[in-house]
């Protein structure tokens, strides 16, 4: 009987891994173009090229009683279709300021148009949040279910430099990534001593490590669950303040050429970014159904 129960559980898990494509909202995602890269808080990162991560969004905020009426970019996100961005719940929940701007298609914050080798990307696209949803169990317990959705006030114009990232499906919903490396990208703090943020999109590779490594270092703040990844721990390479909500991503080949998939969302870590203390990322595979349940045409 015990063997039979184990078999049934295993079989149910296999069905769960593949049945997500039967969700009634699965068709709202772009499965043809998602995750394509036209490329040939980040510590130790290198500059991205135009079109390398065309799904990355920047989130800007305005204080309730601002001294200067200029939005400040403080979080990141990932475009998953022409109307929705996935980010961290802590980037939108219980704030002392308002999310007022979502920007797509930016590489260098100092230039109006990004160009490389005589190739220029179209101008950035700016949006206001039409709706904001964060997970109903966010913070129960502390820092768990740190994921949110933002609906844009109008559809994004999709092209090579603004393109959605793919959501996990099939075997990726249960894949064990421990021991592999993934990429993180953002405009977060890149000089811890000065506390300055990057003006150019940076990206860095981080290893996925055992959850126990996070519990040893930041377990006093929050414990890691199966709904999270523990990653990093390499001196000089890390996500940092301002990268929150941005993507932990990896190219995967599923019945075709490799495409980038949104594997995780930057959640939290040590304030001493780039030290040997790893960081925590929300495991997106556990929330694909929640995402699909909450998006609309």
Residues annotated catalytic, as ranges: 90, 146, 244
> What is Dmax (Cα atoms) for the chain?
68
Distances (CA, A) of 99 to 49, 71, 265, 280: 27, 9, 18, 23
Task: Give strand pairing partners of 209.
Answer: 230
Contact (Cβ atoms closer than 8 angstroms) between residue 181 and residue 201: no
**DSSP class of residue 181?**
E
**How far does Cα 263 stand from its chain's mean position?**
8
**Residue 27 burial (CB < 10 Å; 0-12/13-18/19+)?**
exposed
Distances (CA, A) of 242 to 24, 88, 150, 152, 226: 34, 12, 17, 20, 25
Q: Which of 22, 24, 44, 52 is nearest to 116 (CA)?
A: 52
Long-range Cβ contacts of 93-98 (<8 Å, 24+ apart): 93/134, 93/138, 93/139, 93/148, 95/61, 96/63, 96/64, 97/61, 97/62, 97/63, 97/64, 98/61, 98/62, 98/63, 98/64
At residue 9, the 3 state secondary structure works out as helix
Contact (Cβ atoms closer than 8 angstroms) between residue 165 and residue 247: yes
């Amino acid at each position: 009987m015990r063997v039979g129960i184990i078999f049934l559980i295993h079989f149910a898990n296999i069905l769960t891994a593949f049945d997500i494509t039967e969700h009634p909202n699965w068709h709202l995602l772009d499965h043809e173009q998602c995750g394509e890269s036209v490329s040939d808080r980040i510590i130790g990162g290198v500059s991205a090229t135009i079109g390398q991560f065309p799904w990355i969004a920047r989130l800007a905020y305005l204080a309730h009683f601002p001294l200067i009426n200029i939005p400040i970019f403080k979080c990141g996100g990932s475009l998953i279709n022409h109307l929705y961005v996935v980010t961290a719940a802590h980037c939108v929940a219980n704030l002392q300021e308002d999310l007022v701007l979502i920007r797509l298609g930016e590489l260098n914050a100092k230039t109006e148009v990004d160009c490389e080798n005589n190739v220029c990307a179209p101008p950035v696209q700016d949006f206001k949040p039409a709706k904001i949803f964060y997970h109903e169990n966010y913070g129960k317990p502390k820092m768990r279910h740190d994921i949110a959705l933002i609906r844009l006030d109008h559809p994004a114009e999709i092209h090579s430099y603004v393109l959605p990232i793919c959501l996990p499906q099939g075997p990726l919903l249960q894949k064990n990534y421990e021991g592999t490396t993934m990429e993180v990208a953002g405009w977060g703090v890149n000089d811890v001593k000065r506390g300055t943020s990057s003006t150019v999109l940076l990206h860095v590779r981080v290893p996925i490590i055992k959850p126990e490594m996070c519990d040893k270092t930041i377990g006093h703040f929050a414990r890691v669950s199966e709904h999270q990844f523990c990653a990093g721990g390499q001196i000089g390479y890390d996500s940092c303040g301002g990268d929150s909500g941005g993507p932990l991503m990896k190219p995967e080949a599923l019945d075709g050429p490799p495409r980038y998939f949104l594997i995780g969302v930057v959640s939290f870590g040590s304030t001493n970014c780039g030290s040997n203390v790893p960081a925590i990322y929300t495991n997106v595979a556990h929330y694909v159904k929640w995402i699909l349940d909450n998006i609309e045409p």
